[in-house]
Amino acid sequence: MLLALTALLGSLVATNAAATASTTKRPCSDIEAPDVPGAKIVSIISTELVDFTVPAVRPILNQDVTGINVCQVLVTLTHPGANDTVNVQVWLPLENWTGRFLAAGGSAWAAGLGPLSIAPYAVKGFAAASTDAGLTGEILDPSPWALKPDGTVNTELLTNFASRSIHDMVVVGKAVSKSYYNKGPDFSYWEGCSTGGRQGLVAAQKYPEDFDGIVAGSPATYWTKYVIAELWPQVVMNEVGYYPAACEFTAVREDVVATCDELDGVKDGVISNLARCKYDPSRLLGKSIDCNGTQVTINDKLVSIVKKIWEGPKTASGSPLWYALTVGAPLDTLAGIQDVNGTDRIGAPFPVARDWARLWVKQNPNFDFAALDSAGLRELFAESVKKFNSVIDSSDPDLSGFRKAGGKLLVWHGEADHIIFPQDSIRYLQEVRKSTGHNVKDFFRLFIAPGVDHCALGSIDGAGPTDALGSIIDWVENKKAPKELAAATLPTAKTQFTRKLCAYPLVAKYDGHGDPSVAASYHCAKCL
């Protein structure tokens, strides 16, 4: 996808860019090359883009961004000895710059998404930046860069992806902003989800003075642990010897929602009270469901698989190894399958987990996941943590530097996230609290979104945050700490409603009167 986006950008520049008179003290074509410690600038190219359009590429960018007028700065750099080529892209509004700089995060194996991620900010007056971290290949395929020709891990590019490129992008972005506007940004922000959320936490931990405010959605905080735990549903299916069709998992989830939906006093197709949802899939045994025109009977193997997936992976002694999918989260992403010859099915691991295990942990592109069992998963887990915890995890609870610098951190996570477990974000908040020894609400707040999937992509119908960035800006610039976030369902949701997301551990509770589909009918409470 990244290669395709590069080609897309080139064609758009050719058809949309036009030179106009500069409205700044320094011409766009005369931006100074930045000084990036530890790196060498290879080139800097700056061009005015006038009435530029970035077309939608769903689900990354859901609608066209039009009327973009920016000075596009493309900086290429390399780290001596690393044999890398890193591209940083910065868009500087030609007019009406707000004085704000924003760095946008990536997704999956992409450190950044270029125009797709920065266009929405640039049209709102932000100087916005993205980086490719020197990586090549598709967003879900890191194989072109993960290993060197001799089969060993490309540690330089992994370091770029994990942390180094984040700071480099900030240094470049702030420097070219200052060169163009003859003043540096008044405020600097980060926004990203998933990999982008992890990058935001890395910035707070390793580069505490880079950002005034950070929005980290569904962050991949405990990378070396949760990514291996994502393989647990595959292990369960291997050990049971049954690979359910996606419609079987869907039938279970729909029944969970029907059973537990109204435990919060509101029927909206969302489980908002997981603590009271004591669901047993055995109730579906023998039930016939329609699977694309074929009648399938729920059997004991499916029931066993679902129960074990929800229990999560265990240590050899039976203690929890890591977290599991929450009840109500879609099952078929991590318990993916693929058809063979139209009759048989085999497991299909989630791509990020698959590639992390085979390319980095095992350095074996042909690793056999069909043979992976509980013992093998435990070995993978331990090996992943031992080899790469210090490289890629963003779980350091010591945020004292970020707090001292006056930074504000806003983390949000869907409670029905089907890729990164929401328990991870709760754990991180608790560990930060233990590390600081105080209440952390002055600089770090967590918001859990009931019924929301990974990064609110819309596979299910909960209400995701609508303007988390606006909340962090208000916190940083106006000292108004967010007690709640505005949230709404996507236009594709079966039931349309708005909600308020409350700062953890508070939850939104229906007042008992008023329209239950409107956020104003709810208040933040300790429990439902």
pLDDT in tens, 318-336: 999 999 999 999 999 999 9
For residue 417, indicate whether it is catalytic.
Answer: yes
State both tokens at 453.
Answer: 């999937």
Last residue of a domain, one of 390, 417, 436: 390
H or E stretch at 11: helix 2-16
Q: How far apart are CA 362 and CA 425, in angstroms?
A: 27
Vertex 324: Cα angle to 262 and 286 (nearest 5): 60
In a domain, 87, yes or no: yes
pLDDT of residue 12: 39
- Considering only CA atoms, give the Rg of the chain: 24
User: Same domain for 33 and 176?
Assistant: yes
DSSP, residue by residue, 25-61? SS-GGGPPPP--TT-EEEEEEEEEEEEEEE--BTTTB
State both tokens at 308.
Answer: 């074990």
User: Same domain for 158 and 305?
Assistant: no
- Using CB atoms within 10 A of its CB, is residue 6 exposed (0-12), middle (13-18) or buried (19+)? middle
Tell me which residue of 107, 94, 4, 5 sits closest to 54, measured CA to CA: 5
pLDDT in tens, 329-356: 999 999 999 998 877 899 999 999 999 9
The SS3 call for residue 289 is strand
User: Same domain for 79 and 174?
Assistant: yes
Lowest mean pLDDT, pick from 119-123, 435-439, 477-481: 435-439
Number of residues that this document lists for the chain? 528
**Number of domains within the chain:** 2
pLDDT in tens, 361-399: 999 999 999 999 999 999 999 999 999 999 999 999 999
Count of Cβ atoms closer than 10 Å to residue 9 Cβ? 17
pLDDT more than 70, % of the chain: 95
In a domain, 259, yes or no: yes
In a domain, 90, yes or no: yes
Alpha helices in 288-359 (DSSP H): 300-311, 351-355
Instruction: Say whether pTM exceeds 0.75.
Output: yes
The SS3 call for residue 408 is strand
| CA of residue 407 relative to chain centroid, distance | 21
Average pLDDT over residues 156-170: 98
The mean pLDDT of the chain is: 94
User: Same domain for 161 and 289?
Assistant: no
Last residue of a domain, one of 162, 185, 208: 185
Alpha helices in 282-321 (DSSP H): 300-311
User: Same domain for 364 and 239?
Assistant: yes
In a domain, 208, yes or no: no
Please tell me which residue in 132, 168, 212, 417 is annotated as part of the active site.
417
Q: How far apart are CA 304 and CA 309, in angstroms?
A: 9
The SS3 call for residue 304 is helix
User: Same domain for 248 and 157?
Assistant: no
16 pLDDT more than 50: no
Please tell me which residue in 194, 218, 272, 394 is annotated as part of the active site.
194
pLDDT in tens, 267-282: 999 999 999 999 999 9
Q: How far apart are CA 184 and CA 127, in angstroms?
A: 10
pLDDT more than 90, % of the chain: 89
The SS3 call for residue 89 is strand
Average pLDDT over residues 189-205: 98
Q: Is 198:133 a contact under the CB 8 Å cutoff?
A: no
Q: Is 482:476 a contact under the CB 8 Å cutoff?
A: no
User: Same domain for 233 and 356?
Assistant: yes
DSSP, residue by residue, 124-148? TT-EEEEE-TT--SBTTB-HHHHB-
Average pLDDT over residues 464-478: 98
- Which residues lie closer than 8 Å to 24 by C-beta, 6 or more apart? 71, 94, 180, 181, 182
In a domain, 350, yes or no: yes
The SS3 call for residue 395 is coil
State both tokens at 346.
Answer: 């085999």
User: Residue 25: which pLDDT band, with cuts at 50, 70 and 90?
Assistant: low
Residue span of the structural domain in which 236 resides:
226-390
Tell me which residue of 462, 521, 522, 450 sits closest to 493, measured CA to CA: 462
User: Same domain for 245 and 155?
Assistant: no
User: Same domain for 277 and 158?
Assistant: no
In a domain, 109, yes or no: yes
User: Same domain for 30 and 110?
Assistant: yes
Q: How far apart are CA 449 and CA 508, in angstroms?
A: 10
Please tell me which residue in 79, 167, 418, 454 is annotated as part of the active site.
454
106 pLDDT more than 90: yes
- Using CB atoms within 10 A of its CB, is residue 177 exposed (0-12), middle (13-18) or buried (19+)? buried
- Which residues lie closer than 8 Å to 409 by C-beta, 6 or more apart? 200, 201, 204, 213, 214, 216, 399, 402, 443, 444, 445
State both tokens at 85.
Answer: 């080529």
Most distant CA atoms of the chain, gap in Å: 74
Average pLDDT over residues 420-432: 98
User: Same domain for 376 and 270?
Assistant: yes
69 pLDDT more than 60: yes
H or E stretch at 121: helix 115-122
For residue 454, indicate whether it is catalytic.
Answer: yes
User: Same domain for 310 and 167?
Assistant: no
Tell me which residue of 150, 162, 247, 222 sits closest to 396, measured CA to CA: 222
In a domain, 77, yes or no: yes
In a domain, 510, yes or no: no
Q: How far apart are CA 218 and CA 394, in angstroms?
A: 13
Lowest mean pLDDT, pick from 137-141, 151-155, 477-481: 137-141
Q: Is 335:244 a contact under the CB 8 Å cutoff?
A: yes
Last residue of a domain, one of 390, 420, 455: 390
